[in-house]
Amino acid sequence: MERVALKPGDAEPVEIGAVAASDIVPPSSPPAAPERKTTGLVRLGFVRLGGRWLALNRGRLRALALGGLALLMFVVAWHLLTKYRVNIYVRFLNVPSPEQVLERALRAFKDPKFFSHVLLSCRRILIGFALATIVAVPLGLVMGRFRVIREFIFPVAEVLRPIPAIAWVPMSIMLWPSNEESIVFITFLGSFFPILINTLHGMTMVDQVLVRAAQCLGAREASIFREVYFPATLPHIFTGLTVGMGVAWVSLIAAEMISGQFGIGYFTWEAYSLVQYSDIALGMICIGVLGLASSAAIRGLGYIVMPWVRS
């Protein structure tokens, strides 16, 4: 007796081995290579990431574009005023044009002496600003926390704060044994008071409800400083650091012009003495770029240290 097998859906048996040609299922063709599909997905992912990045940074890009446009308009106005030698009360007869300053800058960038002036000024700024930060921030925190210390130190600080950096130049020359130390001291003074005042202001703005809540939970004085006062004061501290950096550059340039022998301030003043007008403009632009870079570095550090204040 022959054995038969029933196909699903068929009523009559079919002998095994007697399979019809129509019943043979042809092997499926191999799938197409997924390279095109993968490439398309990658492109789509990049497009989506780019769109998301643009949406998140739209405000910053707009500010960057407006700032670039303002700088371009400034350079164009500078070019036109110097090209036509405008002399309407404000004289542009001897002011160098942007082309002349650019030509002088290309030559100065090949001169190691110019870079030595820049590096020495940056070194003085770093030392003076770092010392001011190390002294002013803890002092401002302590003055803000303890009224007795604030009442003792604040009057002295208020008397010394309005004295401009230029007025300190003769005194600093008498106080310190070398010009280098006196210039660093003037830079220190220029950045010290903005950092101190802003830190003190930040301490006075701390919500006392948070302080009392920490005390009720058993926090000690060190913990209150670390967990309540310091985080609440950090935005004001970084504001003081930014302002202090700008004042530090002003103080440094004034000190280098009067008593220095090296530095970007001395370079600018020497150019004026030698009637090299292009070097004057180059020194001024270099000071502005260095100050901008210093302030941007402080703001960038603030974004890293204070992620809760990012916009």
Tokens at 18, concatenated: 């007697």
**Residue recorded with tokens 């030392």:** 127
Q: What is the pLDDT of residue 40?
A: 62
pLDDT band at 58 (very low <50, low <70, confident <90, very high): confident
Query: Of 8-12, 120-124, 259-263, which has the strongest mean pLDDT?
Result: 120-124
Q: What is the pLDDT of residue 17?
A: 47
In sequence order, the β-bridge partners of residue 87 are 91
CA–chain centroid gap for 244, Å, is: 14
Mean pLDDT to the nearest integer, 186-196: 94
Least confident of 27-36, 144-153, 235-244: 27-36
| Percent of the chain's residues with pLDDT above 90 | 48
Q: What is the pLDDT of residue 189?
A: 93
DSSP state of 306: -
| pLDDT tens digits along 125-153 | 999 999 999 999 999 999 998 899 999 99
- pLDDT over threshold 80, residue 19: no
CA–chain centroid gap for 228, Å, is: 26
Q: What is the pLDDT of residue 7?
A: 47
Q: What is the pLDDT of residue 31?
A: 54
Q: Are 157 and 182 in contact (CB under 8 A)?
A: no
- pLDDT over threshold 90, residue 73: yes
Q: What is the pLDDT of residue 275?
A: 85
Which residues contact residue 237 at a Cβ distance below 8 angstroms, ignoring those fewer than 6 apart? Answer: 137, 140, 195, 198, 199, 202
Q: How many CB atoms lie within 10 A of CB 154?
A: 14
Where are the extended beta strands (E) located within the chain?
A: 4-5, 14-15, 87-88, 90-91
- pLDDT over threshold 90, residue 93: no
| pLDDT tens digits along 153-181 | 999 999 999 998 888 888 888 888 888 89
pLDDT band at 16 (very low <50, low <70, confident <90, very high): very low
Q: What is the pLDDT of residue 246?
A: 93
